[in-house]
């Protein structure tokens, strides 16, 4: 976000959970989009013969271990680690980025 705001200070940018809430109008927006993407990837894999599982085994093990430590499912763990954080830092209207607004 910092790079985008340096290029255009008036730009409104949202990232992470804040962007999913705006995009979907739901508190569960990230989960909704995750399920949509998962369904699309599964369909594409079936049509092309591509095996997502074969390509992601090593990565999955790392996520599985982190999820067990956090006491949640691996998909939710990845989702939460990727999208959660300080809401003020996920929206250019409230983002401080080490500088006063």
Q: How far is the first Cα of the chain from the last one, in angstroms, to the nearest whole number? A: 15
Domain membership flag for residue 60: yes
| Alpha-carbon span 80 to 74, nearest angstrom | 10
Domain membership flag for residue 43: yes
Domain membership flag for residue 3: no
Domain membership flag for residue 70: yes
The per-residue pLDDT for 60 is 82
| Alpha-carbon span 58 to 88, nearest angstrom | 34
Q: Are 97 and 91 in contact (CB under 8 A)?
A: no
The per-residue pLDDT for range 6-60, each reduced to its tens digit, is 898 898 888 888 899 998 999 999 999 999 999 998 898 889 988 877 777 878 8
The per-residue pLDDT for 63 is 84
* Number of structural domains in the chain: 1
Whole domain around residue 36: which residue ranges? 28-81
């Amino acid at each position: 976000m910092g790079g985008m705001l340096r290029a255009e200070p008036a730009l409104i940018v949202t990232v992470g959970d804040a962007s999913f809430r705006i995009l979907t109008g739901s508190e569960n927006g990230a989960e909704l989009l995750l399920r949509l993407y998962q369904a699309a990837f599964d369909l594409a894999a079936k049509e092309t013969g591509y095996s997502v599982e074969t390509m992601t085994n090593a990565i999955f093990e790392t996520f599985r271990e982190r999820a067990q430590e956090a006491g949640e499912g691996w998909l939710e763990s990845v989702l939460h680690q990727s999208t959660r954080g300080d809401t003020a830092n996920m929206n250019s209207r409230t983002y401080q980025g080490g500088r006063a607004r």
